[in-house]
Chain A
Amino acid sequence: MKKIVEKHTLATRWFHWINFPILSIMIYSGIMIYWANDVFSIGFNNKTILKLFPDSFYHAFHLNLHLAYGMALHFLFMWLFAINGIIYVLYTGISGEWRYLVPGKHALKEAWQVLLHDLRISKKHPPVRKYNGAQQIAYTSIIIMGLGSILTGIAIYKPIQFPTLCYLLGGYYMARYLHFILTMGYVLFFIIHVLQVIKAGWNNFRGMVAGFDVEEIPATDKLEETNQLDELNTH
């Protein structure tokens, strides 16, 4: 016997899917801006292992020589990114959805279990809930990162009008560095997120589009089944 279980509210799904293209455009235009002074690299002891990014990368995606265009896009879509994020946080707070999202007492321990399970080190299955500990930590961190992007963004966009903010973030250079690191964080998040969604399968993905999960439940007596169907029909 199958059962429809409501999972993500319509609002949550809208916020999620609106954010995706906007954040993509922010990263796309951000790299165009970064290209004009691409000073950050991965390495240690003053040895560069990987220059971020190689010229071939810019050329492949036409990200070079577009500083003006990148800035123009960035400073339009920043509004949409911030507004969508702020409304999402307000909604999550007011609706009570935050209760599922804010990491609970055992979140860290649970996240460790999830990691071991996903890496196939442990067979023990983590608890199945709307969001497990790992998800709680990830989805709360991403919101804090979003706030970080807005604050570091303001600090490098208007450092003279908001000098205190710029100072608290370690100065102009550091604010730009943090802004860049956060972006790399989104890219990392995106990769893991997509892999997890693929791994979780169709039912989970449908949850983010259609809003519901299908659960297998042990067969119940006939009466209860009819009641359930009646209830579904009224939806």
Chain B
Amino acid sequence: MKKIFNKFFLIFKKPVNPDIDQLIKRRTIISFLYFSFAIVIAFLSWSWLIHQPESKAALKPLREAMKVNEKLFGGLFYDNNHLAPLFDKSKRAKEIRVNGDIGMGDDFDEDSWSLKVVRAPGDTLFISLDDIKKLPKTEIVFDFKCVEGWDQVSHWGGVKFSDFIEKYNLGTTDKLKADTKNFSNLYLYTGLVTPDEEYYVGMDMPSMMHPQTLLCYEMNGEELDWEQGYPLRLITTVKYGVKSIKRIGTIFFSNDPPPDYWYENGYDYYLGL
């Protein structure tokens, strides 16, 4: 055994008065040893990565990377003045794609629905659709983007979430007037849940205060379709469609990230565009 080792390490010893073939051979062997070593390291690294424990259905190092990306793109590059390009109504798609029905259970009773807003523990408001419609209406025609990779120009009408917050004085930690520009007295997150509690999303407050984040009751100029989230859904241009929850039952505010359906299934929590 020792003999083999000695012979092996002999390669690294510079020969005395070598001929050209010896030199070529020596350099080739040493280089390919390093090369093989690098390949082994690469495979071990990959194997290490894919055998890491999971955090919310995502490998932990990948979850960490998502958080770093969120800090960078949600902090450094994000700006509520960055608006999604708007389109003319003539550009909107005729058939609006329906892509999910989680949280849209059949047992929904539209007559008894009103939006439940938990302002603070023990301080709950119920707001009717008619009252929401009394707020200033905003319409946007934008390119809706699904996390799956498709996009579609669609037309939505409703109330800006920031207008809604200001009107009912919601989401503040100090009960003073909501600072919808700098978010100084706002909770860090908004949670939105369907009436049957099957689907739920968590949204960071800057994205909720974006001027293109709406509580919608209209699509393509008409009352929201049943499968598009009647009576009230969220539409935001700054996130993938999975965050634009249909049929909102409850809204609440929190400094901890609220539960999020697709986050729990391995997706990024932030999902910002």
| Chain A interface residues (CB < 8 Å from chain B) | 1-4, 17, 21, 33-34, 36-37, 39, 67-69, 71-73, 75-76, 79, 158-163, 167, 171-173, 176, 206, 209-212, 214, 229, 232-233
B32 touches A210 (CB 8 A): yes
Contacts of B61 in A (CB 8 A): 76
How far apart sit A67 and B21, CA to CA, in the bound complex (Å)?
Answer: 53
Contacts of A71 in B (CB 8 A): 147, 267-268
- Among A37, A167, A210, the one with the most B-chain Cβ atoms within 10 Å of its Cβ is A210
A176 touches B265 (CB 8 A): no
Identify 14 new A-B residue pairs, CB closer than 8 A, beyond the known A158-B272, A159-B84, A163-B83: A2-B20, A2-B24, A33-B149, A34-B149, A67-B147, A68-B57, A76-B65, A161-B273, A163-B84, A209-B32, A210-B28, A210-B32, A212-B27, A229-B20
Contacts of B73 in A (CB 8 A): 158, 161
- How many A-B residue pairs lie within 8 Å, measured between CB atoms? 110
How far apart sit A161 and B206, CA to CA, in the bound complex (Å)?
Answer: 14
Closest chain B residue to A202 by CB distance? B28
A72 touches B28 (CB 8 A): no
B237 touches A68 (CB 8 A): no
Tell me if B78 counts as interface (CB < 8 A to partner A). Answer: yes
How far apart sit A171 and B58, CA to CA, in the bound complex (Å)?
Answer: 31
A172 touches B266 (CB 8 A): no
B21 touches A2 (CB 8 A): yes
12 contacts between A and B (CB under 8 A): A33-B149, A67-B148, A75-B65, A76-B62, A159-B84, A160-B82, A161-B77, A173-B151, A209-B32, A209-B35, A210-B31, A229-B18
The secondary structure that dominates the A interface is helix
Decide: A37 near B58, CB < 8 A? Known: A2-B20, A158-B73. no
A210 touches B145 (CB 8 A): no
B265 touches A68 (CB 8 A): yes
Decide: A17 near B20, CB < 8 A? Known: A161-B79, A163-B84. no
B145 touches A172 (CB 8 A): yes
Give B232 Cβ to nearest chain A Cβ, in Å: 23
How far apart sit A172 and B142, CA to CA, in the bound complex (Å)?
Answer: 12
Give a binary string over B52-68; 1 marks a CB under 8 Å from any A CB, 0 the rest.
Answer: 00000111011101100
Closest chain A residue to B152 by CB distance? A173
Decide: A232 near B20, CB < 8 A? Known: A68-B58, A160-B82, A161-B79. yes
Closest chain B residue to A1 by CB distance? B20
Tell me if B146 counts as interface (CB < 8 A to partner A). Answer: yes
Contacts of B121 in A (CB 8 A): none
A37 touches B150 (CB 8 A): yes
Q: CB within 8 A of A159: which of B24, B28, B78, B273?
A: B273
Tell me if B143 counts as interface (CB < 8 A to partner A). Answer: yes
How far apart sit A19 and B236, CA to CA, in the bound complex (Å)?
Answer: 37
How far apart sit A211 and B31, CA to CA, in the bound complex (Å)?
Answer: 9
